[in-house]
Amino acid sequence: MNPPAPPLFATPEDAESAFYDAIARGDLEALMAVWSEDEEVICTHPTGQQLQGLAAIRESWRQVLATTRLQINGNRIAQWQGMLLSVHQIVEHLQVGEEITGPLQATNVFTRGPHGWRLVCRHSSAAAEPTVSEGEHRVLH
């Protein structure tokens, strides 16, 4: 029997939505299905820990999801998109149980390939204040 086909993300927004949804559900397999299969992928957590490669990223998210029920509420403040690359700048607030923390500044980078859009780089770090007012969203080309 053949393994299931990877999900097809028609837009970078679809991939990003699937990423945050997988985190909220604690679904490691769905979260990893958003990432590109390229071993050059990079994820930097708010702690500053930079991970390269799918195995390291998978293990890190496995640990996070095993110990914490996490939801990330984000507001995209800027987006740059071309035919094969899309970069999203997001202000995030983490919700763990009833506690909400943040803001965090996050950058999600997506590329388009044979299975649609996939995450290739994610960087998240603590921020004192959002740099763009709430509700303001810019698309840059």
Tell me: the pLDDT tens digits for 1-35?
666 667 889 999 999 999 999 999 999 999 999 99
**Considering the domain boundaries, does residue 7 fall inside one?**
no
**Considering the domain boundaries, does residue 57 fall inside one?**
yes
> Each residue of 79-110: pLDDT tens digit?
999 999 999 999 999 888 778 887 999 999 99
Report the C-alpha gap between 63 and 59 in whole angstroms. Answer: 6
**Closest by Cα among 94, 121, 122, 95 to 106:** 122
Report the C-alpha gap between 78 and 90 in whole angstroms. Answer: 7
Provide the whole-model pTM: 0.85
- Tokens 């202000």 — which residue? 91
Tally of domains in the chain: 1
Which residue segment(s) compose the domain that 90 sits in? Answer: 12-140
Distance of CA 140 to the CA centre of its chain: 19
The CATH number assigned to the domain holding 95 equals 3.10.450.50
**Considering the domain boundaries, does residue 3 fall inside one?**
no
pLDDT the model gives residue 130:
47
Q: Which residues pair with 100 in a beta bridge?
A: 95
Query: Where are the extended beta strands (E) located within 1-141?
Result: 42-44, 50-52, 70-81, 85-96, 99-113, 116-126, 138-140
